[in-house]
Structure 1
Amino acid sequence: MDIKFGFADTARELVIRVAGEQDGYLQQINEALANNSNVEIEDEKGKKFIVRTDRVVYVEVGSTSQRQVGFAGV
């Protein structure tokens, strides 16, 4: 699942690929945004990211469902 952060005054986004449940990340990010504090996220490879939420404009949290590949899902 990908978590995408958009920041004010820049066209670049921060995309972090994580393993785990969407609800846990949503709760963690919502709390950090509400308190204007930092959010710490660890990606699938073990890298840790600390994101300051004072400049965050939007957050997109990907779906935890598996995508269909090929024509089987049509």
Structure 2
Amino acid sequence: MEIKIGIQETPRELVVSSSQTPDEVDALISEALDSDDGLLRLTDDKGRKYIVPSGRIAYVEIAPSDVRKVGFAS
């Protein structure tokens, strides 16, 4: 699954590839917005950790990973 996070006053979005379900990611985001420290913590498929201040989040897009086709199509 691919998670895109738009951060305020930043021209690029943060893209995280995760094996978590959309419901799990939704719960993590809601929890981060309601928590005292206000940090969203995500871990990608390769074990890298991302920590984003929830007060700076502009938007979050949760989508299935794109399946890229190789070769020529007619």
Report the TM-score, using the length of structure 2 for normalisation: 0.77
Structure 1 runs (4+) greater than 6 angstroms displaced: none
Gaps of 5+ in 1: 70-74
Query: Within the alignment, does 1:5 sit opposite 2:38 as a pair?
Result: no
Q: How many residues align?
A: 69
Alpha-carbon distance in 1 for matches of 2:40, 2:58: 14
| Identity rate, percent | 36
Report whether the alignment pairs 1:56 with 2:57.
yes
CA separation in 1, counterparts of 2:43 and 2:12? 20
Structure 1 position 42 matched with structure 2 position 43: yes
Deviations 1:24-70 (A, max 9, x none): 11111122123471011110001111111111110101137x85x6x
- Counterpart secondary structure, 1:44: coil
Secondary structure at 1:20's aligned position in 2? coil
Q: TM-score, normalised by structure 1?
A: 0.77
The gaps in structure 2 that reach 5 residues or longer are: 70-74
**2:64, 2:17 → 1: CA distance?**
12
